[in-house]
Amino acid sequence: MERVFNFSAGPSALPVEVLEKAAAEMTCYGDSGMSVMEMSHRSADFTAILAHTKDTLRELMNIPDDYEILFLQGGASMQFAMVPLNLMVDNGRADFIITGNWAKKAYQEARRFGDASIIASSEDETFSYIPEFDASMVRSDIDYLHICVNNTIYGTRFKPDALPQVDGVPLVGDMSSNILSEVYPIDKFGLIYAGAQKNMGPAGVCVVIVRKDLIGKASETTPIMLNYKTHADKDSCYNTPPCYAIYICGLVYDWIKAQGGVAAMEAINKEKAAKLYDFLDNSKLFKGTVRPEDRSLMNVPFVTGDADLDAEFVKEAKAKGLANLKGHRSVGGMRASIYNAMPMAGIDALIAFMKDFELKH
């Protein structure tokens, strides 16, 4: 069977070159005589893989030396707890901007550990926009401000030049669904976290990029595995890390570098997204659900306005090799997730199918 264009929100399509390289190295990595899955995480081969993966990510994202890069387990959802356990410490309070389900989950988890407060939300209009922000909105003495940078379900994003900033307050950003998709200024964040399974690799590893002065603040009672210091001190090898997932992330980082880096990905992603949004804006049948200036480059939700027709669209698209276009179960409609690995040919095929479907209906 031929590979389909996979519009899944996550786990998502990986570059075919990466899958082929992994397949070629599956049973024997280099001259090790074994698969990466079979080697000790303390071996010279895996130590080199980890170092290469970390260095390449640092280079791609232009991560300054005063930030640590950690490869952890537990997914992005584990960070909903690790962030407050490690950062909501000095004053025991943090503020949240709620732009969707994931931001809300981060807030709900933080409430278990301290004084978490919502300072802005777009829930009043089904999270179809990014709320206005002004530094005067945050409470005094907060330990951090949390945002979900790209909202996978609703398809909005905080743009790189519009990140909320408050003097002296670390910004924490969940970048699970848009890391490496466009250039973000890392120094505007205290901490970034991202589950790998959308734009970086397979499920099982979560990347945390954290300013070094924020490490080591967790209380004595924090479980050892949930303390950033544990993992920073041991270079993500305190216990067995998700070795194979880290290796695949490294291959994806190499692939992004070969495409010209994150700036080049951004240019392609903007072109891909513009093509799709432009079609939606001019369609008589389909329409986008997000305020134009807040649109995500990665997740594009759209509807026909008729739930039965939406269902038929998703079914027919699947038969044409356009997979996983069903919207999130909480919102319905359709969603095309067009991460780095989605080629322009996938966008063209989707638009051609939408044109046909529109003519028929």
Residues annotated as catalytic (active site), given as ranges: 102, 174, 198
Which positions from 1 through 40 interact with ligand PLP, judged by CB under 6 A?
10
Q: Confirm or reject binding of residue 77 to ligand PLP (CB under 6 A).
A: yes
Q: Residue 76, interface with ligand PLP (CB under 6 A)? A: yes
Binding of residue 109 to ligand PLP (CB under 6 A): no
Q: At closest approach, how far in Å is the CB of 329 from ligand PLP? A: 12
Residue 148 makes contact with ligand PLP by CB under 6 A: yes
Is 336 a binding residue for ligand PLP by CB under 6 A? The answer is no
With CB atoms as reference, the residue minimizing the distance to ligand PLP is 75
Helix and strand counts by DSSP (H, E) for the chain = 9, 14
CB-count burial class (<10 Å; 0-12, 13-18, 19+) for 17: middle
* CB 104 to ligand PLP: min, Å: 11
What whole-number distance in Å separates Cα of residue 199 and Cα of residue 12? Answer: 7
- Beta strand 287-288 with 299-303 is antiparallel
CB burial readout 129-141, b (16+ within 10 A) else e: bbbebeeeebeee
- Looking at beta carbons only, is 104 or 279 nearer to ligand PLP? 104
**Before 170, cis peptide (omega within 30)?**
no
* Owner of token pair 């190499």: 254
Phi and psi at residue 240, to the nearest 5°: -70, 120
Applying CB under 6 A, among 34, 47, 63, 75 the residue interacting with ligand PLP is: 75
In degrees and rounded to multiples of 5, residue 164 shows phi and psi of -65, 130
Q: How many residues bind ligand PLP (CB under 6 A)?
A: 11
Q: Does 176 bind ligand PLP (CB under 6 A)?
A: yes
Closest CA to 155 of 276, 296, 303: 296
Question: Taking contact as CB under 6 A, which single stretch among the options 34-42, 73-81, 208-216, 240-248 is the one that binds ligand PLP?
Answer: 73-81
Residue of the chain from 174, 254, 294, 310 that contacts ligand PLP (CB under 6 A): 174
- State how far the alpha carbon of 252 is from the alpha carbons of 5, 41, 83, 190, 343, in Å: 18, 20, 26, 25, 15
Q: Which is nearer to ligand PLP, 39 or 70 (CB)?
A: 70
- Is the Cβ of residue 176 or residue 236 nearer to ligand PLP in the bound state? 176
Nearest to 340 by CA among 89, 23, 10, 109: 10
Q: Which of residues 7, 102, 144, 158 is near ligand PLP by CB under 6 A?
A: 102
Q: Which of 185, 183, 172 is nearest to 64 (CA)?
A: 185
Among 164, 170, 195, 301, binds ligand PLP (CB under 6 A): 195
- Taking the complex as a whole, the smallest distance from the CB of residue 297 to ligand PLP amounts, in Å, to 14
| CB nearer ligand PLP, residue 79 or residue 304 | 79
Applying CB under 6 A, the span of 64-72, 136-144, 170-178, 274-282 interacting with ligand PLP comes to: 170-178
Residue 156 · residue 130 · CB < 8 Å:
yes
> Nearest distance from residue 154's CB to ligand PLP, in Å?
10
Size of the chain, expressed as the number of residues it contains = 361
Instruction: Select from 70-78, 219-227, 244-252, 270-278 the region that touches ligand PLP (CB under 6 A).
Output: 70-78
Please say which residue, 69 or 354, places its beta carbon nearer to ligand PLP: 69
- The smaller minimum CB distance to ligand PLP, of residues 81 and 276, is found at 81
What span, in angstroms and rounded, lies between the C-alpha atoms of 41 and 293?
45
Report which of 208, 155, 207 is spatially closest to residue 337, judged by C-alpha positions: 155
Burial category of 173 from C-beta neighbours within 10 Å (exposed 0-12, middle 13-18, buried 19 and up): buried
**By CB under 6 A, residue 177 contacts ligand PLP:** yes
Taking the complex as a whole, the smallest distance from the CB of residue 337 to ligand PLP amounts, in Å, to: 10
Q: Which residues bind ligand PLP (CB under 6 A)?
A: 10, 75-77, 102, 148, 152, 174, 176-177, 195
